[in-house]
Amino acid sequence: MATDARWLNEEEQDLWRAMLATTRKINRAMDETLQAGTDLSTSEFSVLVSLSESEDCEMRLRDLCTDLDWDRSRTSHQITRMERRGLVEKRKSPGDGRGVVVSLTEEGMRRLEQAAPAHVESVRRLVFDHMHPEDVEHLRRWMDGVAQVNNVPGTAGFNGAVNAKA
């Protein structure tokens, strides 16, 4: 059911803009930290982390898509670029010729291990060093709520009704 726009009040607008600015700052800092130290993009780093945390440092491509919350096309292109750089390898899935398995290479693991200390230091400085302990619970509850929204474009449950209130 279509409704009138529920415009943000001034306080909400200020908070929304602060959230956008914060997200941009964090993303830019993470990109620059990784590029400066290891010549990795944040997308490459994300793939390497997912693979490093999986059994035998490998995953089926479809599971990697799910883990990263990326579509198959984006993931496939990213993996192809990373394979050219020697960070990952891909092969047909044994027992399922249609499936693809992506594996972390020794070079990929070396670069991940090289990048991790500076990455976590940037995360700590940007996010946690000035956060009050009681903020963690509030932010977690809010982020869990955002993660559960499924009635807007870009979410699994979206049915095309942009102005629906549900």
For residue 114, what pLDDT is reported? 96
> 96 pairs with which residues across the strands?
93
> 93 pairs with which residues across the strands?
96
Q: How far is CA 19 from CA 12, 25, 111, 135, in A?
A: 10, 10, 31, 15
CA atoms within 13 A on the CB side of 162: 4
For residue 67, what pLDDT is reported? 96
Task: Tell me the residue type at 149.
Answer: V
Sign, CA torsion 78/84/87/92: positive
List the pLDDT tens digit at each of the 166 positions of the chain: 457 899 999 999 999 999 999 999 999 999 999 999 899 999 999 999 999 999 999 999 999 999 999 999 999 999 999 999 999 999 998 877 789 999 999 999 999 999 999 999 999 999 999 999 999 999 999 999 998 988 888 777 777 655 544 4
Q: Look up the pTM and report it.
A: 0.85
Contacts of 112 (CB under 8 A, 6+ apart): 45, 48, 49, 52, 104
- Helical ranges in 39-123 per DSSP H: 42-52, 61-68, 72-84, 106-123
For residue 163, what pLDDT is reported? 53
